[in-house]
Amino acid sequence: MSKNIVSLNQSNFKNEVLDSTKPVLIDFYADWCAPCRMIAPILEQVAKEYEGKATVVKLDVDANNALAAQFGVMSIPTLVFFKDGKEVKRVIGVRPKSELTRTLDMMIG
């Protein structure tokens, strides 16, 4: 994982997502998930391009199954966009970079 992507867990979830002043994109993933590995380079690019404007975080569903369950994540990868501590959009599966950046741009304004 790059320095631009934060590894999310129960202890830093509130600070990184709910209290964030920037839009947040959460990638609910697992290491064994092939589609999750396919979207990882796209998320790395987005994290680098949006550094300072938005935050990209990854949550390992195997290591944090309570958080995954709390958000009703049943399939991975699930990408959840947050703004001002609230869920704005959710997509499941591998998505093109353009779709992710379009959503972030809309959230940033």
Catalytic residue among 24, 36, 68, 79, which? 36
80 annotated active-site? no
What architecture does CATH give domain 5-108?
3-Layer(aba) Sandwich (3.40)
Q: Over the stretch 1-46, which tens digit does the pLDDT of each residue have?
A: 567 898 999 999 999 999 999 999 999 999 999 999 999 999 999 9
77 prior amide bond cis, ω within 30: yes
Beta bridge partners of 6: 57
Q: What would the mean pLDDT of 47-71 be, rounded to a whole number?
A: 96
Residue 63 or 109, more confident: 63
Number of CB atoms found within 10 A of residue 25's CB: 24
Catalytically annotated residue among 13, 20, 33, 91: 33
